[in-house]
């Protein structure tokens, strides 16, 4: 009986050792822990690159200078030393457990003027016309001078402050 028990224990240990060594120890490339896939584990939002909105792209016009484009979109993320007439704007964001979103915008210049726009976001004249600022009417109430605590105290004592 004792031999059967020891053989069973040794067999279980050997089997678990072989199974443990055979297991793939490399999880997904981005996953560092098994717990990361659980929904209650917080994952920070990570964004990289230039934030590019459709309003910014709509304000681009062919013929703009490099300085004007840089004013609208900011400094490009990638400028190639060998192709100085091409600017690449890339934006990625990874929100929690969701898939990573990526937006690319490539601008081509000729004689320091914007000649071509390529990428995920394109300028849309209809969209820019819809986003035109409409006239805003702001009413400002009349100014009422308020007395401070010191002036109120002087009036209560009978001393009028001089203006």
pLDDT tens track for 102-121? 988 999 999 999 999 998 88
pLDDT at 96: 82
Phi and psi angles of residue 138, each rounded to the nearest 5 degrees, phi first: -115, 125
- Domain ranges in the chain are 41-130
Enumerate the β-bridge partners of residue 90.
104
Structure-model confidence comparison of residues 121 and 9, the more confident one: 121
Residue with tokens 């279980």: 12
Quote the tokens at residue 100: 């990573």
The lowest-confidence range among 6-10, 39-43, 45-49 is: 6-10
pLDDT of residue 124: 77
**Pairwise CA distance, residues 111 & 137, whole Å:** 43
Please give the DSSP secondary-structure letter assigned to residue 77. Answer: S
C-alpha 74: how far from its chain's center?
Answer: 14
Rounded mean pLDDT of 40-56? Answer: 84
Which CATH architecture best describes the domain 41-130? 2-Layer Sandwich (3.30)
Give the model's confidence band at 152: pLDDT under 50 very low, under 70 low, under 90 confident, else very high.
confident
């Amino acid at each position: 009986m004792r031999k059967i028990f020891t053989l069973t224990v040794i067999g279980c240990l050997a089997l678990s050792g072989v199974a443990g060594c055979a297991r793939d120890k490399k999880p997904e490339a981005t996953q560092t822990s098994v717990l990361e896939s659980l929904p209650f584990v917080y994952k920070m939002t990570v964004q990289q690159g230039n934030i590019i909105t459709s309003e910014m792209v709509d304000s681009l016009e062919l013929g703009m200078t490099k300085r004007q484009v840089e004013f609208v979109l900011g400094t490009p993320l990638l400028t190639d030393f060998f192709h100085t007439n091409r600017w690449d704007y890339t934006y990625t964001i990874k929100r929690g457990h969701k898939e990573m979103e990526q937006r690319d915008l490539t601008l081509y210049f000729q004689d320091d003027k914007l000649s071509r726009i390529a990428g995920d976001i394109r300028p849309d004249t209809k969209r820019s016309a819809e986003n035109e600022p409409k006239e805003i009417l702001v009413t400002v109430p009349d100014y009422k001078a308020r007395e401070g605590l010191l002036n109120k105290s002087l009036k209560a004592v009978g001393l009028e402050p001089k203006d």
